């Protein structure tokens, strides 16, 4: 059974984990109502997505 001969340093472990950080959600303006909405999602305020209204909302 393969067992590490030496302990990995903290720097080496940190380098391996450098890509695991969380990124901020990318927001864009809704072209219909100008609210900040995450990209590729239906606008929760007006229901607009990809040039048409997909979800009917009560005003």
Question: What pTM was computed for the model?
Answer: 0.55
CB 56 within 8 A of CB 47: yes
DSSP 1-59: ----SSPPPHHHHHHHTGGGPPPPPPEEE-TTT--EEETTS--TTT-EETTEE-S----
pLDDT (tens digit per residue) in 3-51: 999 999 999 999 999 999 999 999 999 998 999 999 999 998 888 888 8
Please name the residue that has the structure tokens 């048409």.
Answer: 52
- The residue ranking higher by pLDDT, 54 or 44, is 44
Domain spans in the chain, listed from the N-terminal domain onward: 24-59
- End-to-end Cα separation, the chain, in angstroms: 66
């Amino acid at each position: 059974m393969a067992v590490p001969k030496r302990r990995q340093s903290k720097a080496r472990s940190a380098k391996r984990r450098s890509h695991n950080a969380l990124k901020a959600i990318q927001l864009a303006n809704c072209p219909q109502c100008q609210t900040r909405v995450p990209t590729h999602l239906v606008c929760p305020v007006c229901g607009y997505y990809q040039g048409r209204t997909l979800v009917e909302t009560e005003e």
